[in-house]
Structure 1
Amino acid sequence: MTAEQVNVGFDDDEKRPSSRDDSHEIDESATSIPILDPNAEKRLLLKLDTYFVPIIMLVYLTCFLDRSNIGNVKVAGMPEDIGASPKQFSTAVSIFYATYVVFEAPWSILMKRITPRVLLTGLCTVWSLATIFSGFIHNVAGLFAVRLVLGGCEAGLFPALNLYLTMVYKRHEQGMRVSYLFVCTAISGAFGGLLAYCILKMDGIGGFAGWRWVFIIEGICSFLIAPVIWFGLPNNPTEAWFLTEEEKAMMKVREAQRAHYMGSEDFDSKEIRIALKDPKLYLSGAIQFCQDILLYGFSTFLPSILVNMGYSSIQAQYLSIPVYIFGGICFIAFAYVSDRTCVRGPLLFLANIPGIVGYILILCPTSNGVKFFGTFLCAIAVYNGPGLNMTWLNVNFAPHYRRATAIGVQQSIGNTAGIVAGQIYRTAPYVLGNAFSVGALGVVQLIITTNWFYLRYLNGEKKKIESGEKEDTRKVKSGDRATDFKYHL
């Protein structure tokens, strides 16, 4: 950090890293901030990624494993053992999202008050126990009960982790970090299939069926992550234990640079109301809903889709691994380009095109090899869609409580798709589920286009107000509504 001081102002070139102010004017009294040495800031970012990212990824990985393992045990005889009909099993998949969508916004808004450490550790502990208890159920009622508890606890994880990332990283740094979360969904699919493949070989050990061991072992793994969260994620990232005094000072400067974006730490119900009246929240929520239909249908039922292609249940477990890995790699590539260019909507639109082709190949009377190839194309849209859209929302809402509300509500809207996914993927050959998914992709392309033009219009209006071409008659002029806050398109 140099002693040189500069006036704080917004730089429209979002691609320029480090030294530029990430969010424009901090307040009327703060007219200058220190310049950070770009190389020193890169080293700081590398250190933050080294400590924070593995923990965040590990937590979300185990969370998604506990959520999606119901798809792995479906082909291993679990419904038959507990007397669940295909309809009842689909209901069990869907009922998870009943509590999930209800609790997302409250957990998101309460994170600051409860503190990230207490909230995330507590939720992880409870959902781990719910997963372990899933291995001891003997009827459909027990399955419904554990799924409801699981949904209510896991609801707080993704919004809270998203908010935590905004406490650490600037706007142009967030796409890659959000991508790490969604890569975990791909890894969990791949690792979950491999893990289930291995654990199912324990069938009969201790008098337990293999599917019971899947729940028990994966639940224990999640339970062991809770202490890692407690000791690894500080409530205030700027005072993290692994930072030197110089690095903590740099974090304070970065915090000042994005102060306009982060906003006040104090709770303000006005910001919640502003977010709830914002059209771009509901456009983003509609996009997330359509994209999540793919995410939850694909991640939960891919083993079943592969079994329908003629593969055995064991083959389906390990054949799903390369599909998930490919989807994760593609998302990292798209997120990297998105952060470098600060382009969000067009890349989201582009990523959905292979998905449309993939679902059509699966639906058409093609060979099993072609259908399997189609699953790889689907994976591009499955993981890029929700992740890129989540980043698009993150960087376009400010300050903190307005963004917290937006993330929670958007996720609640989007995750109702989990209820739909459980109902459309009921019986083989899953024509309804795959047809519904490709239809959702067609609809979402229109919504993405609408959102892009709306944000472009808002940026144009701000430009006119700044230049004096138009009078500013807007009721809300703070946070992301400030004229110097440019929306990412």
Structure 2
Amino acid sequence: MNDSKEVDIESNSLSASNVGSPNPRLGLSEVFIDPIVQKRVISKFDKFMMPQMALLMVIAYLDRSNIGNAKTFGFEKGLGLTGNQFGNISTLFYPTYVVFEIPWVMAVKRFGANTILAVAMVGWSVTTLGTGFVKNYHQAIAMRLLLGAFEGALFPSLAFVISNVYSREQQAKRIAVLYGASALSGAFGGLIAYAIQLMGTRSGLSAWRWLFIIEGCISIVIGFLILLTLPRNSTKAWFLNAEERALMSARIQRDATTKGEDKFSWKYVRMAILDPVVWIASIALFCATTPLFGFGTFLPTIIVGLGYNSLQANYLSIPVYIFACLVLCFIAWISDKLKKRALVVMMVPIPVLIGYAIVIGSDNHGAGLFAMFLVAAGVYPFNTLIVTWVSNNLQNEHVRSVGIPLLVSIANMSGLASSQIYPSKDKPRYIMGNSVSFGMEAVALISSGLMYLVIRRRNAKRAEMIVNGELSETDFKYIL
């Protein structure tokens, strides 16, 4: 992921230590960045930080969605669940997940990504391990509430760190790494579940219990390791030398010059909370995340509903997730290459809509499985690009530290719905769940179009103000 040809378009060819003439309008000095050093720095973050972020996402989504695999081989029977109790257990992951997202991101900004994410990961890993020993419905609910509280730290914190390290034109591929890792976790989850299901009962514990125990133990070890290996922040990464740290500090100074002061002010919180783009994007992401979460949690269940047995469902989910990851990487690369968000965002929901239309309208097994590939090709890219698009259009890290988790937390409230739309009584075809997912994706598409109109209007107003001498060309420009 080395951007050999990508140079921040706001950079110039002087060194980070050089300071140009004062900007007469702002009364501040312009900061210039050496593109050669910058390219080396970006390469280091790609090499040392992004793989760790991908691993964290894989582990988190394994620990979150393994309940879907466990369901196919005995979780409900083992706990004596009745009615929609399984759906309730799935749902109650999200209230604490949403509530804790903004506090976790603010803690990352204050104390560093490595410390906070290590604490969060060990917490959710111990919770996953504990789920392997629950005895009843209420204990399972308690574990899911704790899991949500700890996992709320992960995605918005990683997206926040990415927004502070990479330029706006470089972020889609890196956000795609996070969503791609969540897709790959589905493939790994299916593979692990398949192997553990074959293992059967051991030491008096059912196979579904071993699924939580084994994954929890692995996660605990990784949680302790990232305290040492994950960078604290963009300027204090252990793999940067003094010159490279100075460059990252200079970038922050440059952004303070063109996008607002570096010192925290409550006005930045208000900017994030009152920004209509954040709220429109939140509606889009909320709607798109409903099918995404439903897909991630219930894909094995949906495949069983297509006429396959539980063992087949676990291994048939693997190629679906791999395909999703490949398509996601391609679409993110296209978006960064074209330096366009809106055009690509409004195209990717189309295969999702086609896929759900097929699975709603046909009971053919082959057609249904093909439809799952279409859905996978769209749900991950759409969410990736919406998060990137919003991050690109928030002016500095203070605004992003509130705007990104606010966006993600609102979107994640959809988990309350997505975990309820595939009740067991709707088997085998789960028409209601697939229909709701179809409708929500359609609303997401419409909302993304509204985002485009609002941002285009902002840029038109900016251009008018430049002509009138009220702004300069260096002032913040919104990305379409």
Q: Corresponding residue for 1:21?
A: 10
Q: 1:431 matched to which residue of 2?
A: 431
The letter for the 1-side match of 2:78 is D
1:31 alignment counterpart: 29
User: What's the TM-score, normalizing by structure 1?
Assistant: 0.90
Contact kept? 2:29, 2:257, Cα under 8 Å = no
> Per the alignment, in what secondary structure is the counterpart of residue 270 of structure 2?
helix
Give the gaps of 5 or more residues in structure 1. 1-14
- Find the partner of 1:251 among 224, 248, 251: 248
Post-superposition offset of 1:275: 1.4
Deviations 1:362-393 (A, max 9, x none): 11124211111110000012111211111011
Amino acid of the residue matched to residue 299 of structure 1? G
Match of 2:477 in 1: 486
Residues of 1 paired with 2:238 and 2:276: CA distance? Answer: 40
Paired residue type of 1:457: R
Distance 1:453 1:86 in 2: 45
Distance 1:249 1:378 in 2: 44
Q: Distance in 2 between matches of 1:270 and 1:28?
A: 19
Of residues 78, 83, 99, the one that matches 1:81 is 78
**2:165 is the alignment partner of 1:168:** yes
Show structure 2 runs of 5+ residues with no match: 13-21
- Asked whether the equivalents of residues 260 and 399 of structure 1 are also in contact (C-alpha less than 8 Å), the reply is no
Amino acid at match of 2:175: V
Match of 2:278 in 1: 281
Q: What is the letter of the counterpart of residue 442 of structure 1?
A: A
**Quick one: distance in 2 between partners of 1:380 and 1:468?**
45
Question: Quick one: which of 131, 149, 158 aligns to 1:152?
Answer: 149
CA contact (8 A) 1:260 1:398 kept: no
Kindly provide the amino acid, as one letter, of the partner of residue 369 in structure 1.
G
Asked if residue 221 in structure 1 is aligned to residue 210 in structure 2, the reply is: no
CA contact 2:33–2:247 (8 Å) conserved in 1? no
Aligned pairs for 1:285-434 (under 5 A) are: 285-427=282-424, 428=427, 429-434=429-434
Letter in 2 for 1:31: S
1:424 partner letter: I
Residue 438 of structure 2 is aligned to residue 441 of structure 1: no
Aligned to 1:462: 462
- 1:252-267 to structure 2, matched below 5 A, reads 252-259=249-256, 264=261, 266-267=263-264
Following the alignment from structure 2 to structure 1, what is the Cα–Cα distance between the partners of residues 248 and 337?
22
Using a 3 Å threshold, how does the CA distance of structure 1 residues 28 and 468 change in structure 2: closer, same or farther?
A: closer
Q: Deviations for 1:237-286, whole angstroms, at most 9, x for unmatched residues? A: 32322223443344344444444577555432221122111111110100
**RMSD over equivalenced CA pairs, Å:** 2.3
| Structure 1 residues 71 and 150: alpha-carbon distance in aligned structure 2, compared to 1, 3 A threshold | same
CA contact (8 A) 1:99 1:151 kept: yes
CA contact 1:133–1:146 (8 Å) conserved in 2:
yes
CA distance in 2, matches of 1:370, 1:37: 50
Tell me the SS of whatever aligns to 1:31. Answer: strand
2:88 aligned residue? 91
Q: Does residue 1:57 correspond to 2:46, yes or no?
A: no
SS of the equivalent of 1:239 reads coil
Tell me by how many angstroms 1:112 deviates.
1.6
